[in-house]
Amino acid sequence: MLNPDDFIITRKRKKYKFANFSNFSNCYELEEVNIENALDHENITLELGAGNGVFSLGWAKAHPETFVIALDLKADRLYTGAKQALEEKVNNIIFVRSRADLFLDLLKPHSIDTIWLTFSDPYPKKRQAKHRLTHPDFLDKYRKVLKKSGVLLQKTDNDSLFEWGKEQLIDSDWRIVEESRDLHAMEGCDDIKIKTGYEKRYLKEGKNINYLKAKPI
């Protein structure tokens, strides 16, 4: 049987994926999310800027006791992970198309166990800094929604973004409890080494992957 993913040209493929996103049972627009149901789980992981959702899917498979929310603004990206999750019958994950700040504002205080930032857009220009996911405005939102035992996890290939983010964390009264400039040289930690598409490419190019775990003080 022919698979449209194999032959639709790029522009049409994006439209195809966007259209099918809304038809998948595990995919939601922001206004469609039942926050009460989404938060009715003992352990919740939220990935912001989830891209194609493959990392979130890997995390859900590695932690079947955890409910995972993969969030990104672009439905055609999330389509990949959502489709794979349905095919593999992974039921402890949903995919949400939304801006990060809008979604965070809907969450109850102290309702999230883990927040992941994976290869976030660095927004390199100074005037774009407010959009970085480690900007103090976002850190304040994370503090509000994380449980007392909750953690913020980040991995990125961008050394400048990593260092800038560390400065914001320290200045915003967060404690960095784990850090590495070469994640894949660390022993163990198999779940945090689940690779995104970008990560596989960067590793192939010999690029180091920065990683940290932080908790609000």
Spatial contact of 118 and 49, defined as CB atoms under 8 Å apart: yes
What would the two tokens of residue 14 be? 């994006």
Question: Looking at the DSSP assignment, which residues form a beta bridge with residue 153?
Answer: 116, 213
Start-to-end CA span in the chain (Å): 55
Cβ contacts of residue 47 below 8 Å, gap of 6+? Answer: 53, 55, 56, 59, 68, 69, 70, 71, 115, 116, 117, 118
Residues with catalytic annotation? 121
